[in-house]
Chain A
């Protein structure tokens, strides 16, 4: 990966707008985290007596003290903070496939389909995060294990298959409600493969301590973007794209530093 060229490319449309949206999501998440009165993530309160409850008891308590709107808003924040840069490709594809006067609605339909599936998946993912909180008790250990799993998964053949299929585009009709339904369906199918490839990165922020929640979201977002822009290819074990990206940034810097000291 060529970090310098990548940064150059990120100056061009639509990247600045997408990164700005992500930035907004991260800022709001940070504000919510700092104004929370009890430990939790993205505004979901997890009682400080968590360690004395069994896993499913904790789940019941959390559901009791957090209204559904809290889950919806917290999950929406996570999607806003982490997803926009991942949508550069499908949004550009929709722009090229539609009449100008239908484009905005086509994007909305796509985002609706995309968001619907992510929201549906958010329910079991959030429940899993809460259960893991309760079961493991020791936050650092299980977070580290989960991070390791996420890295291994991102270098796995199955994950590559999901990323490959996430690059497929659907037909977008040019006219009528059918065209908008095509955009909605494209969003849903795209979300399916997105979930398959990056579900662990989405779980990770929810397993981190409250004060680390936002930085972990940022790193997870970078990891998912690295996967999205890595070369497609035959499913096989490979270096996790996040590490490849870090190497692409750090190695030239270290070489330059070494050269200047020589």
Chain B
């Protein structure tokens, strides 16, 4: 294992040693043959690869033969999204990348190196969202072309302030996975469970926000999972996502999944990454947990995480064990919809008595009492662009200006991997993207304010970016689901 992973913002301004060494390593690794498992391109292709997209982005010449390991279901195109391996797979992937870069830095400079993280949600740092200058400079300090700018992003200055759904709300979720006993599609922090077959995936909370948010906001190669690994910011971004996961796991009251299929899976293949010597190394989720070979060390798990991993005893109220929580369908819209340049309103028909009961039952968590949460479930989102942005509103009045009704915003969906998820031959079934969007707070506000009529529920989908009449996004189904648990006192001793 390499050393302690640190906040990029604490390593010094501009071309600090860590970033300079990173650039030197990237320059050397990008010069290696694409078939070399320690090359920049090979490591990027492990995440995703598409010849056409790589040629478009200048990562590969049209006549270049594709290394077999990019496409033969060993190393290449391995990335796990919209399932419960998203976090542990990326952990092993990061560890491999870090060890190879660290070995290259040692070879070139004699110095130690650890992967920094981009702590973009650190509220104590006014420049947290800024992309450091080295990622824009044309040259490195040594005067040679800067490899950091070789692969393009559309936004290389900062994550704009005021971007909705770029926050730490995911960290409030206590359960990695609630599969609801087959009632409706699962919810949770970590993504859909898989077994002998992989169901259409639902994006886990952390993957949706801020993971997808950053990818789509930066756009360019970062906006497409098939090219994202090419950009040096990809690794710093994922290091922060991994740190958020670690902070979540160490926080009292969080329920990590313990299924053997997760710990030792997947069933249908083995995850494999290269080592610094070029040999392959298989791994499982277990290898990323405490005492595992890929277990990372971070300098800080509090700053910019929204949680406080503590030691000692903690008492709080939760929703009870995930396996005892239920998820049930309450209603759904009438047909698939297509969103182009104009927004679309779709009405959601509800099982009225069940919906009214759910709305009435919502309230603060109390021990021994049912805890009810409501979600919008939007599934089968398909399109022809690598990514897009889609705003979702609940019960937006006809003719109302969405900009003045932020109180009715459910979410901004950052549709990372839209095109890939829509392609049946991409390895993900072609079922598009799926999201669970919590609406408990919004519905309670409506209920306690002007009233919430369970017979009149409408969802408005508004295009934001990359959605036009020529490049529409289709949505297979919009549903409302209820998640029910039992208020349970949690007494936990955290080490």
Using a CB–CB distance below 8 Å, which chain A residues touch chain B?
1-2, 5-6, 8-10, 12-13, 15, 88-89, 92-93, 95-100, 160-161, 164-165, 167-169, 171-175, 178, 228-236, 238
- A160 to B427 Cα, complex, angstroms: 10
- Give the Cβ gap from B424 to chain A, nearest Cβ, in Å: 5
The answer to whether residues A95 and B182 also contact, given A5-B264, A8-B260, A88-B196 and a CB cut-off of 8 A, is yes
B328 at the interface (CB under 8 A from A): yes
B398 within 8 Å of A (CB atoms): no
Q: Closest Cβ of chain B: how far from A129's Cβ, in Å?
A: 30
Nearest to A8 among chain B residues (CB) is B260
Report Cα–Cα, A1/B267, bound state, in Å.
Answer: 6
Nearest Cβ on chain B to A15's Cβ, whole angstroms: 7
Q: How far is the CB of A92 from chain B (nearest CB, A)?
A: 7
Which of B39-47, B331-339, B365-373 makes up part of the contact surface? B331-339
* A83 CB → nearest B CB, Å: 15
Please measure, in the bound complex, the distance between the C-alpha atom of A92 and the C-alpha atom of B183, giving whole angstroms: 10
Contact with A along B450-485 (1 / 0, CB 8 A): 000000000000000000000000001101000000
Cross-chain contact B424 with A168 (CB below 8 angstroms) = yes
Return B271 CB to nearest CB of chain A, in Å. Answer: 11
Question: Contact at A92–B267, with CB atoms within 8 Å?
Answer: no
Q: How many angstroms from the CA of A88 to the CA of B195 in the assembled complex?
A: 11
* A174–B261 touching, CB < 8 Å: no
- Tell me, rounded to whole Å, the shortest Cβ–Cβ distance linking B184 to chain A: 5
Among A93, A99, A160, A238, find the residue whose CB has the most chain B CB atoms closer than 10 A. A99
In whole angstroms, what is the CA distance A240 to B278 when docked?
A: 28
Chain B residues with CB below 8 A from A93, complex form:
199-200
Considering the complex, which residues of chain B in the window 250-268 have a beta carbon less than 8 Å from any beta carbon of chain A?
260-261, 264-268
How many interface residues does B have (CB within 8 Å)? 44
Beta-carbon contact of A174 and B424 below 8 Å: no
CB contacts (< 8 Å) of A161 on chain B: these are 424-425
Chain B residues closer than 8 Å to A160, beta-carbon distance: 425
Query: What total of A-B pairs shows CB separation below 8 Å?
Result: 115
CA distance A1 to B336 in the complex (A): 36
A232 near B264 (CB under 8 angstroms)? Answer: no
Decide: A1 near B196, CB < 8 A? Known: A92-B182, A96-B184, A233-B77.
Answer: no
Taking CB atoms, residues of chain B closer than 8 Å to A92 are 182, 199
A9-B267, A174-B349 are known contacts. Are A232 and B431 too (CB-CB below 8 A)? no
- Given contacts A96-B182, A238-B73, are A2 and B426 in contact (CB under 8 A)? no
Q: A10-B196, A174-B479, A231-B268 are in contact. Are A236 and B424 (CB under 8 A)?
A: no
Contact indicator A229/B197 (Cβ below 8 Å): yes
Report yes or no: A171 in contact with B199, Cβ–Cβ below 8 A: no
Q: Which residues of B contact A233 (CB under 8 A)?
A: 73, 77, 425, 427
Are A12 and B195 in contact, with the CB atoms below 8 A? yes
Q: Is the CB of B261 within 8 A of A9?
A: yes
How many angstroms from the CA of A235 to the CA of B73 in the assembled complex?
11
Q: Is A89 in contact with B427, judged by CB distance below 8 angstroms? A: no
Task: Say whether A235 contacts B380, CB under 8 Å.
Answer: no
Residue of A nearest to B202 (CB): A96
The yes or no answer to B406 lying at the interface (CB within 8 A) is no
Q: Report A-chain residues with C-beta under 8 Å of the C-beta of B430.
A: 164-165, 167-168
Q: How far apart are the CA atoms of A246 and B439 in the complex, in Å? A: 48
Contact call B427/A9, Cβ cutoff below 8 A = no
A-B contact pairs, 19 of them (CB 8 A): A1-B269, A2-B264, A5-B267, A8-B261, A9-B261, A93-B199, A96-B183, A97-B329, A165-B424, A168-B424, A171-B380, A171-B476, A173-B334, A174-B331, A174-B332, A174-B349, A229-B268, A233-B425, A234-B427
| B185→A96 contact, CB < 8 A | yes
Enumerate chain B residues within 8 angstroms of A165, measured Cβ to Cβ. 424, 430
Question: Please, which residue of chain A has its CB at the minimum distance from the CB of B349?
Answer: A175
Do residues A2 and B267 form an inter-chain contact, with CB atoms below 8 A?
A: yes
Closest 5 CB pairs of A and B: A174-B332, A167-B429, A89-B197, A233-B427, A164-B424
What separation, in Å, do the CA atoms of A17 and B40 have in the docked complex? 48
B270: A residues at CB distance < 8 A: 2
Within the assembled complex, what's the spacing in Å between the Cα atoms of A89 and B268?
15
**Which among A10, A88, A232 has the greatest number of chain B C-beta atoms within 10 A?**
A232
Cβ contact within 8 Å between A167 and B182 = no
Give every chain A residue within 8 A of B429 (Cβ-Cβ): 164, 167-168, 232
